[in-house]
Structure 1
């Protein structure tokens, strides 16, 4: 091999690696942020919606105690498909917009009776929309609130009867109006 050929080969190898690396690394870019994701900034609103659906009582803590906002965020971000996530997030924005239209302030700034009235309106709308093939956003919020609360530690141990080590199985026992078992 002549010196001239060796220099040409070395130059083409080095040039190809320098020029080719940005092309190769362009496939390693991080994906763009999607508008259909819930963020930590949405947690207070989700918590308050869940707390309005399942409020704190003398017998059991409310949905906020079960960190319902974090549960909803995880389910929407990780388990819902694109269409369901968009419906949920548009619904979240609708709740805040309707609160502003009806009361002149955001949902988080409303009193408890105002929150209940607003969510009751959405619940009535959701019941009318049961025949549609797309779920209503408030139905999704109620389902996630109930599911998340009763699978959380406060919901399972304080709202339901909880026995971490159940005894033997008794098929027929008298029912005295107690809470359901966790």
Structure 2
């Protein structure tokens, strides 16, 4: 028996609509467009580029490794492939070229050839520009740098390096303590 037929029978027997039934039915469609989601095919150089962008956003410090050590570039690729719609995937992909072009315009070298200081100056300027042009309601069209930054933070702090070395990690925290002493410079809890 086909899933579509089964869902229709369940709906008839229960006298109502199956919650989420549309998702089940569209999952049964035979349309190639619906079944095949666009996938980014990033080269190892592009993943290395994303690692360097992430490392500039969250660099290695004396206390913890940076985003590059957490392989955030590979994480970004997976998230963009699995979670972003095709238009956002294109914004992300085009953003790598735009970021490289902006670096060449500002520093006369590509992003990968730029020094850590040059990269930081560039990303700080782009971040400032985005914040200045954000509408009052806080909603703005997706910007490639915002995507890079959000995925960097998500990838890093959900990695083992992020939650065990950058944050204070307690595998079995025990009881809830609402008032924990805090000293300036303490790491947040994972």
Q: Give the TM-score range, shorter chain.
A: 0.7 to 0.9
Structure 1 position 42 matched with structure 2 position 46 = yes
Q: Distance in 2 between matches of 1:116 and 1:37?
A: 27
Report runs of 4+ in structure 1 exceeding 6 Å deviation.
Answer: none
**Per-residue Cα deviation, 1:78-124 (whole angstroms, up to 9, x for no partner):** 11111111111111110111222333322111111111111112112
- 1:106-145 matches, within 5 Å, as 106-131=110-135, 133-145=140-152
Range moving further from structure 2, 70-79 or 133-142: 133-142
Q: CA deviation at 1:32?
A: 9.9
Range moving further from structure 2, 98-107 or 85-94: 98-107
Greater C-alpha Rg: 1
1:37–1:85: 8 Å Cα contact kept in structure 2? no
Q: CA deviation at 1:68?
A: 0.6
Structure 1 position 152 matched with structure 2 position 153 = no
Question: CA distance change for structure 1 residues 181 and 32 in 2, over 3 Å: closer, same or farther?
Answer: closer
1:129–1:136: 8 Å Cα contact kept in structure 2? no
Q: Partner of 1:17 in structure 2?
A: none
Q: Partner of 1:88 in structure 2?
A: 92
Bigger helix share? 1
TM-score, structure 1 as length reference: 0.75
2:111–2:119: 8 Å Cα contact kept in structure 1? yes
Question: CA distance change for structure 1 residues 108 and 99 in 2, over 3 Å: closer, same or farther?
Answer: same
Q: Distance in 1 between matches of 2:38 and 2:177?
A: 51
Structure 2 gaps, min length 5? 1-31
Range moving further from structure 2, 61-70 or 161-170: 161-170
**Per-residue Cα deviation, 1:16-46 (whole angstroms, up to 9, x for no partner):** xxxxxxxxxxxx9xx9996854343311100
Structure 1 position 179 matched with structure 2 position 183 = no
Q: Distance in 2 between matches of 1:119 and 1:72?
A: 18
1:161–1:179: 8 Å Cα contact kept in structure 2? yes
SS in 2 for 1:138: helix
User: Cα RMSD (Å) of the superposition?
Assistant: 2.4
SS in 2 for 1:169: coil
Number of residue pairs aligned between Structure 1 and Structure 2: 154
SS in 2 for 1:157: helix
TM-score, structure 2 as length reference: 0.73
Structure 1 gaps, min length 5? 1-27
